[in-house]
Amino acid sequence: EAQVTQNPRYLITVTGKKLTVTCSQNMNHEYMSWYRQDPGLGLRQIYYSMNVEVTDKGDVPEGYKVSRKEKRNFPLILESPSPNQTSLYFCASSLTGITEQFFGPGTRLTVL
Amino acid sequence: GQQLNQSPQSMFIQEGEDVSMNCTSSSIFNTWLWYKQDPGEGPVLLIALYKAGELTSNGRLTAQFGITRKDSFLNISASIPSDVGIYFCAGRGSGTYKYIFGTGTRLKVLA
C-alpha cells in the first residue's frame, strides 16, 4: 500500500531533550516536506526537500533540523525542544514539488 | 507574503443539503488542492486542480479552479454524516514548490 508513515504518533518530552520524528514514504517520491498544525493557524511548512541531500527552509524553520540521506526517509530533528514546539506535525510527500502532496498520519508532540 | 482566506470557518448543515466553500488568494496560484482531515488523522487529498477554469469531480465533490487564478471552490452535494470533518484548500504559486494552506472549513452535518 502506497503510504507515508511517521513515528512516533504521540510523544511527550521535556524541554531541551533532543528528539527525532521519523518519516518514510514508499512511493519513490522526490519531494518531501514537514508541516506543523496549530489551532487557528492551519498547516505551516517547516522544511522541505526536493531530493536526496537537497533541503530548504519553509515558513517556520526555527528550532528544527532535517536531513535527506535517502530518498524514502526525511526525519525531523528537534535539537532542544521548547514548549512552543508543542504541536501536531505532519510529513508529506509528492512525486515532484508541483504535484499533489500525500500526508502521513501525524505526530502529536507535547513539550513540557 | 502570500495569504489564503478560506470561508466559511465552520458550518452546520442538514443531511442531504449541498455545501459550498471557497478559498481566495492575494496572488495568482498555479495549483489548487483540496483536502479533508478527520480527527486524529492526516489530511487526505480530495481533488487537485492544475488549470484555470478547470472543473473536476470526485463522487459527490466538485471543485473549480477560478478563472482569475486567485480562487477555488469546493462543492459537496447531498451531504451525508461521514462528510463531517475539516476541509482545507492549498495553493501553489508559480516558481515555487511551497504550498500555502487555508485555515480550514469545519463541516458538521446534522442527521
pLDDT by position in tens, chain B (length 111): 567 899 999 999 999 999 999 999 988 999 999 999 998 889 999 999 999 999 999 999 999 999 999 999 999 999 999 999 999 999 998 888 888 999 899 999 887
Q: Which residue has the cell 442531504?
A: B16
Distance from CA of B42 to the nearest CA of A (A): 4
Task: Give the 3-state DSSP-derived string for chain B, with helices as H, strands as E and coil as C.
Answer: CCCEEEECCEEEEECCCCEEEEEEECCCCCEEEEEEECCCCCCEEEEEECCCCCEEEECCEEEEECCCCCEEEEEECCCCHHHCEEEEEEEECCCCCCEEECCCEEEEEEC
Mean pLDDT of the A54-72 span: 95
Q: Does B9 touch chain A (CB under 8 A)?
A: no
Nearest C-alpha in A relative to B103: A42
Distances (CA, A) of A99 to A41, A86, B33, B48, B103: 23, 29, 9, 8, 21
Distance from CA of A78 to the nearest CA of B (A): 21
Residue A101, Cβ neighbours under 10 Å: how many? Answer: 26
Q: Say which of A41, A42, A50 has its CB closest to residue B97.
A: A50
Nearest C-alpha in A relative to B101: A43
**A112/A92 Cα distance (integer angstroms):** 26
CB environment A67-90: b (16+ within 10 A), e (fewer): bbeeebebbbebeebeeebbbbbb
Which range has the worst mean pLDDT, A58-62, A94-98, B42-46?
A94-98
Q: Does B88 touch chain A (CB under 8 A)?
A: yes
Terminal Cα distance for chain A, rounded: 36
Determine the pLDDT at residue B96: 82
Residues in B touching A59 (Cβ below 8 Å)? 1, 98
- Residue A40 C-alpha from the chain's centroid: 19
Contact B27, B93 (CB under 8 A): yes
Res. A97: pLDDT tops 90: no
Written as nine digits, the cell of B22 is: 471557497
Res. A13: pLDDT tops 90: yes
Determine the pLDDT at residue B1: 54
Determine the pLDDT at residue B2: 62
Mean pLDDT of the A71-91 span: 97
Cβ pairs bridging A and B (under 8 Å): 49
Determine the pLDDT at residue B39: 86
Residues in B touching A106 (Cβ below 8 Å)? 40-42
**A19/A47 Cα distance (integer angstroms):** 16
Distance from CA of B16 to the nearest CA of A (A): 28
Residues in B touching A9 (Cβ below 8 Å)? none
CA dihedral B64, B68, B70, B76 (to 10 degrees): -20
Residue of B106 and A39 predicted with greater confidence: B106
| pLDDT tens digit sequence for A17-38 | 999 999 999 999 999 999 999 9
Determine the pLDDT at residue A27: 95
* Residues facing B64 on adjacent strands: B55, B73
Nearest C-alpha in B relative to A49: B97
Burial of A51 (0-12, 13-18, 19+ CB in 10 A): middle
Determine the pLDDT at residue A42: 83
Q: Do B44 and A105 touch (CB under 8 A)?
A: no
